[in-house]
């Protein structure tokens, strides 16, 4: 677990160097760390469904971020791309979305305020494919 004295810049460097995430500090909010979608994507879902999804997983789980205020979790994935249109109706029905522009990563300030935290912190560069996550979570609802 990171030190309580860790700075946003130190955390950002950790994400870049140790985890291979193309993270940057958001210029307008110096305590916010973001990743532009492209080489990294995210599937976002309600926390209840996310908890059920994690419990059902048989394979390796990628990085997962909790957003307590909105009661949603973000599952980081490999490269983002267009969401398959065939999945759109089911995703809308279950309130599942994909990050379209950027993903906000937990910063030390976010964690201290209880705003954003890691459920499953990335220990390696592994991130499952977006399609794999989407199809797996929708299988739970069939």
**What count of other Cβ atoms lies within 10 Å of the Cβ of residue 13?**
13
- Confirm whether 127 is domain-assigned: yes
Closest C-alpha among 97, 84, 83, 101 to residue 38: 101
Contact (CB, 8 A) for 59 and 22: no
Q: How many domains does the chain fold into? A: 1
Q: Note the pLDDT of residue 1.
A: 44
Within a domain: 2: no
Share of the chain above pLDDT 90, in %: 61
Considering 1-10, 12-21, 121-130, the range whose residues carry the highest mean pLDDT is 12-21
Domain for residue 79, yes or no? yes
Q: What is the residue range of 43's domain?
A: 8-140
55 within domain boundaries: yes
In a domain, 3, yes or no: no
Task: Kindly tell me if the per-residue pLDDT of 26 is higher than 50.
Answer: yes
Query: What six digits make up the tokens of 25?
Result: 């500090």
């Amino acid at each position: 677990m990171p030190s309580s004295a860790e700075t946003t810049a130190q955390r950002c460097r950790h994400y870049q160097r140790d985890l291979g995430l193309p993270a940057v500090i958001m210029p307008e909010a110096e305590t916010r760390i973001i990743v532009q979608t492209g080489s990294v994507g995210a599937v976002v879902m309600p926390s209840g469904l996310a908890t059920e999804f994690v419990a059902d997983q048989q394979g390796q789980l990628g990085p997962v971020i909790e957003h307590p205020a909105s009661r949603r979790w973000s599952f980081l994935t490999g490269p983002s791309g267009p969401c398959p249109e065939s999945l759109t109706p089911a995703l809308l029905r279950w309130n599942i979305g994909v990050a379209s522009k950027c993903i906000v990563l937990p910063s030390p300030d976010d964690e201290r305020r209880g705003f954003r935290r890691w459920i499953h912190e990335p220990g390696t560069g592994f991130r499952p494919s977006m399609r794999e996550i989407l199809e797996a979570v929708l299988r739970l609802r069939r």
